[in-house]
Amino acid sequence: MSFKPVILWTDALVYFLVAAMIVFAWYVRRNEHLLAPWRRVSHSASGMASLTVLIFFVIIGLLDTVHLRPAVENNSSGAAETAYSVEVLSLFDVIATPLRTQVEKTYSAPFAVYLYARETVELPGGGQTREFPRLKYGGAHLKDPEAQLFADIIGKAIAGASLGLFLWGLIVVMLSLVLARRSGESVPSVLSAIRHGATAVSWKTISVTLALILMLFGAALTLCGNYHILGTDKVGQDVFYQSLKSIRTGLVIGTLTTLMMLPFALLLGITAGYFRGWADDVIQYLYTTLSSIPGVLLIAAAVLMTQVYMETHPELFDTVAMRADLRLLFLCIILGVTSWTGLCRLLRGETLKLREMEYIQAAHAFGVSHWRILSRHILPNVMHIVLITTVMDFSGLVLAEAVLSYVGVGVDPSTISFGTMINAARLEMAREPMVWWALFAAFSFMFALVLSANLFADAVQNAFDPRVKTLSARTGALRRKIRKEGPVAKPAATGAEDSFSS
């Protein structure tokens, strides 16, 4: 099948972000002292478990970012020129074609074979009854749903899970092969080291998490071909598909908004704190003014203006997807512009504290330039605040998107996002009988995403703080009770203290 690749604005920025991260990773790998804290991250069990989950989300998000326009059969004219569909699909859409196309009439519950609403059906004899009709796709292969349904679901789930388990086994074997080659040990000894958690990188946690994800995902994949495992929404679209599609929107809003906000917050915050004087006054007045305007109002005004502009200039956009995408990007920009004040204020305060530190004065005494002091001394010492704030904001931004969609100034209605899903669920919750699955799906996916991001950021922050080792006495006190069973033969970490002297 031929296709034409499409790069939307947000796609380009996401690619840029991915490229930047690859360059950063390459740079870190070459510098031993930068690598050391990341190694400490890899020793943290919770950090690696959440990273595994995050990678799963990111893979789906990235698949959903590669956009293309498939060719349509052009049978009317035999011209050499192929025409492309106006519908922009992502790689993920192509993979999930059955999910996307198997659309029911309206609501149906998870694993249901009947519709959730009564319909008047013409009886073969001529009369009419109101009943729950069979679904077009959900469980359509079953002859006698009442008897077969349960056994069929269990059977398929087990088959899928074992497929996932098989895949997991393959991955673990490959991993231990790689590890064995790198360390020069035999494969069984590496495997037993992983099983006992004796490796430096907590491979045990990673493989357990991976096993759970793969089993769950394997079962879900086998089931979703024949059932709507999370039900369908008002227009009969599969909720599972929607949830997976929402991941990209959430990631884009969370990351791109941060990308938009960071330059403002970092530059202005540090400048204000470091230079004091009139620069400080100007920046303070700026953010005080900005934060005293109701944020929603500002965002609504900006979004509505762009919306009007887009509607009056339809010729700028080839496809609907392009329009929706530009609106998403503007939302990110506007959220970024309005949300830098909090971080800026924090950074200003921290910089005010740092500029009085003696090492900054020592740098002054060396005649180090202002720019270098800012980048070498101040920036690394406020980075932990940036990291914590951006991750905390990540969940807040995903939620802000939901709130804005409620007001009607959020993402384009054609964009599937957690916000639009939750917004739709507002009406469904008031319905009798209640439709709970859309909200449930959005909630659980968002929860998993935000929780793993938070846990990972926590691990990163712990690993990067040089002082954290001395502060963790209390966790040590808890751990000692567990360790008491086995003999501890760890040398005390006192290298610097007694190895040399005057």
Partner 1 sequence: MSPVLRINNLETILHTEAMPVRAVDGLTLQIMRGETFALLGESGCGKSMTALSVMRLLPDAGEIIGGSVRLGEEDLLLLPETAMRSIRGKRISMIFQEPMLSLNPVMTVADQIGEVLQRHFNLHGGVARKRIQEILDQVGIPDPSRRMEEYPFQFSGGMKQRMMIAMALAGEPELLIADEPTTALDVTIQAQVLDLMRSLQQRDGMTILLITHDLGVAAEIAHRVGIMYAGEIVETAPRDEFFRGPAHPYSRKLLASLPGRDRRRQGLRLAAISGNVPPLSREFSGCRFADRCDHAWELCHEVAPGWTSLAGEQQVRCHLFNQNPGSRVPQRQFEDKRLDPAVQAKGSSDKPDSGVRPPDAESQVSNLLTVTDLKVYFPIHKGLIKHVAGYIKAVDGVSLEICRGKTLALVGESGCGKTTVGKGILQLIPTTGGSVRYDGLELVGLERSRLRKLRAELQLIFQDPYSSLNPRMRIVDVIEEGMNALNVEDESEAGRVERASGTRRKKVDTLLESVGLPPETKWRYPHEFSGGQRQRIAIARALAVNPKLIVCDEPTSALDVSVQAQILNLLRELQNTLGLAYLFITHNISVVEYLADEVAVMYLGRIVERGAVDEVLTSPRHPYTQALLSAVPVIEPASKREVIHLHGDLPSPANPPSGCHFHPRCPHVMPVCREVYPGTSTFSSMHMAHCYLYPQQQDTACVEAQAQAQA
Binding residues (CB under 8 A) for partner 1: these are 33, 357-359, 361-369, 372, 376-377, 380-381, 466-467, 469-470, 472-477, 479-480, 488, 490, 492-502
For partner 1, the closer CB: 195 or 469: 469
For partner 1, the closer CB: 182 or 474: 474
Q: Which two tokens stand for residue 465?
A: 């703080």
Residue 262 Cβ vs partner 1, minimum distance, rounded to whole Å: 19
Give strand pairing partners of 134. 114
Residue 39 Cβ vs partner 1, minimum distance, rounded to whole Å: 14
Residue 312 Cβ vs partner 1, minimum distance, rounded to whole Å: 48
Residue 497 Cβ vs partner 1, minimum distance, rounded to whole Å: 5
Residue with tokens 């100007």: 282
Query: What single DSSP character describes residue 121?
Result: E
| Residues 180/184/186/187 CA torsion (nearest 10 deg) | 0
Distance from CA of residue 398 to its chain's centroid?
10
Helix (H, G, I), strand (E, B) or coil at 127: coil
For partner 1, the closer CB: 27 or 150: 27
E strand or H helix that includes residue 458: helix 437-464
Residue 466 Cβ vs partner 1, minimum distance, rounded to whole Å: 5
Q: Which two tokens stand for residue 24?
A: 């950063």
For partner 1, the closer CB: 433 or 495: 495
Residue 437 Cβ vs partner 1, minimum distance, rounded to whole Å: 45
CB burial of residue 347 (10 Å; 0-12, 13-18, 19+) = buried
For partner 1, the closer CB: 315 or 497: 497
For partner 1, the closer CB: 33 or 143: 33
Residue 116 Cβ vs partner 1, minimum distance, rounded to whole Å: 55
The rounded distance, in Å, linking the Cα atoms of 328 and 322 is 10
Residue 482 Cβ vs partner 1, minimum distance, rounded to whole Å: 12
The rounded distance, in Å, linking the Cα atoms of 16 and 205 is 31
For partner 1, the closer CB: 88 or 266: 266
E strand or H helix that includes residue 164: helix 145-183
The rounded distance, in Å, linking the Cα atoms of 374 and 397 is 29
**Contact, 453 vs 54, CB < 8 A?**
yes
Helix axes 277-292, 320-354, angle to 10 degrees: 140
For partner 1, the closer CB: 277 or 314: 277
